[in-house]
Amino acid sequence: MSVICVCCVIIILLSFFAVRGLSRHIMRQQAVVESELRYREAIEGAVAMFVPRQFLVLLNYRTLGDVRVGDTCMRDSLGILFAGVRGFKELSEGWTAEQTFDWLNKFFGRIVPAIRKNYGFVDKYVGDTIMALFPDPSHGPAAAIDMQKQLVRLNMKAKAKNPKAPKVRMGVGVHAGEVCLGTLGDQFRVETTIISDAVNLASRLEGLTKYYGSKILISAEINSLLQGQQILKAKRSLGKVRPIGAAVAVEVFDVFETDSPLLQRLKMTTARSFQLALMKYAAKDWSGARQQYKECLTVAEHLNEGGRSKEKVEDKGVLTKMDFLDKYELIQDMAAGWRGEDIWEAK
């Protein structure tokens, strides 16, 4: 009986140590697995800084391991936003390369969160220019407005530190259209990209903001998506525009709710005259269009004379339209298919 008891005790002890050893082994293996998972998450987090997860989702990828060179995916409608600093070359004149990098990173750090806030993501940084994508294109204009508001705060902060700090300006263009997303490269280097006329048009709209004196330009496609929504409080049509390289003209809208209060007042006051001018311009009624544009300029003069602010308001959109009017009036036989569009020969 005693021998049996001893054997039982031995078996129990052996079982205890075996279970204890197995438990330690499992814990070590679990620690290894957790460490590998943390490492993988860290790697994927680092890679996501270069390849946005949202882009992978648009390509129907689950992980980076699914990426293959040459994969493509069509989307019927994707929102595309371009934003660039106005006069960055002059602004950064005299800076070292390190100062330029430092300024751009701080600038992006303040502006880009407005894109994520509105359900978009940055696809590319090209110098001082941002290219962002919106799976739901209707969120693009709200992002553009929030970006301009952040820029106002950035300028105020810079002015508080240095009264002589130059005022930074930014133009934003937003468009939506069919796109082809895909991957380009070789076995050693792969990059995600978008091929579409819609991308080119969004970029052109951003470039045209400096000529029309606009902070934000949106296309008719974007405007149609916002019908019935109270997203844009202040906008006006600039008529049809054919940017350089574009095959057809598109209607463009100036979103001016982030303009200065005085400029907003001017554009609202002259809204009827401005739209009448567009109609007469399209009908080749040059004198009638010019008269309406002059009425817009007269309102600006009255605001400047009677205003208490030191700001002198100017509607650059009117001046640009008058330049086109003067140019086309001299052409006796305008093309039969011309319907009032501004045909641009510069970016």
Point out which residues pair with 190 in neighbouring strands: 185
Point out which residues pair with 129 in neighbouring strands: 84, 126
What residue type is assigned to position 88 of the chain?
F
Q: Could you give the CA distance from residue 63 to residue 195 in angstroms, rounded to a whole number? A: 22
pLDDT in tens, 278-297: 999 999 999 999 999 999 99
333 vs 9, more confident: 333
Torsion of CA 193, 196, 197, 203, to 10 degrees: -30
Q: What is the pLDDT of residue 11?
A: 66
- Banded model confidence at residue 94, pLDDT cuts 50, 70, 90: confident
Helices (H), the chain: 2-48, 53-58, 88-91, 97-111, 113-117, 140-161, 197-212, 220-225, 261-269, 271-282, 286-306, 316-329
Q: Could you give the CA distance from residue 82 to residue 175 in angstroms, rounded to a whole number? A: 9
pLDDT in tens, 295-343: 999 999 999 987 666 778 999 999 999 999 999 988 867 666 788 999 9
Q: What is the pLDDT of residue 237?
A: 97
pLDDT in tens, 103-159: 999 999 999 999 999 999 999 999 999 999 999 999 999 999 999 999 999 999 988
Q: Answer for the pair 149, 118: CB distance below 8 angstroms, yes or no.
A: no
169 vs 40, more confident: 169
pLDDT in tens, 177-191: 999 998 888 878 888
Kindly give, in sequence order, each residue whose CB lies less than 8 Å from that of residue 220, ignoring residues fewer than 6 positions away: 250, 251, 252, 253
Q: Could you give the CA distance from residue 244 to residue 246 in angstroms, rounded to a whole number? A: 6
DSSP 17-38: HHHHHHHHHHHHHHHHHHHHHH
Burial 168-205 (b: 16+ CB within 10 A, else e): bbbbbbbbbbebebbbeeeeeebebebebebbbbbbbb
Q: Is beta strand 129-134 parallel, antiparallel or unpaired with respect to 121-126?
A: antiparallel
